[in-house]
Amino acid sequence: MKGLRIGLALTGSYCTYDKAFAALEALAQKYDVTALMSENAYATDTRFGQAAAFVKRLEELTGKPVLHTVAQTEPVGPKELFDVLAVAPCTGNTAAKLAAGITDTAVTMAVKSQLRGGRPVVLAFGSNDGLAASAKNIGELLNRRDIYFVPMYQDDPVKKPRSLVSDYALLEAAILEAHAHRQLEPIFECPK
């Protein structure tokens, strides 16, 4: 299965990086993984870590440079670079842009380019407005051809009642289902 070519695109949900990196580490041992980052993810230092350190770790894990500009990700579709493109984590911002057809980041460009050839895209959504401002965008994207979601749940219904996060334990399964053009069910899980 090392032949399966997965693009793994990180956007600026920095608090999710520990889970995303653990999942990526496991994926990189089994599949041919290339990392992509949004411009924000590539350049922003936060209390969750330094951008340069994340880039270095991604390049070590994949053995390839991180794709992080629109010019670098435009060939994703024409050159058929990935069997599946996973955006993990996917911010509310990136989901909103995808829902609106806006293509002004490396990751939104990669998704548009991947979809152009009818190839699958998987979104691991994570944002504290998932059941507020982002809800309509999730609904819009659920109804799009070739877009699939990693199953998600409310991570803290009491303190953050509008927050949704993806279940990274199911990222690989969601990618394999998407490769067969199926959505991994159930899309929504009970709070953990």
Binding site for ligand FMN (CB under 6 A): 11-16, 38, 40-41, 46, 48, 91-94, 105, 126-127
Q: At what angle do helices 106-116 and 92-100 cross, to 10 degrees?
A: 40
Q: Which is nearer to ligand FMN, 6 or 107 (CB)?
A: 107
Smallest gap from residue 94 Cβ to ligand FMN (A)? 4
Q: What is the C-alpha separation between 144 and 161, in angstroms, rounded?
A: 26
Smallest gap from residue 175 Cβ to ligand FMN (A)? 20
> Which whole-number Å values give the CA distances from 118 to 16, 38, 145, 163, in the listed order?
28, 22, 8, 31
Residue at shortest CB range from ligand FMN: 12
Smallest gap from residue 99 Cβ to ligand FMN (A)? 13
Task: Enter the DSSP assignment of 65.
Answer: P
Residue 46 bridge partners (DSSP):
49
Q: Which is nearer to ligand FMN, 91 or 154 (CB)?
A: 91
Residue 37 bridge partners (DSSP):
10
Q: Which is nearer to ligand FMN, 126 or 151 (CB)?
A: 126
From the CB of residue 177, how many other CB atoms can be counted at a distance below 10 Å? 19
Q: Which is nearer to ligand FMN, 28 or 107 (CB)?
A: 107
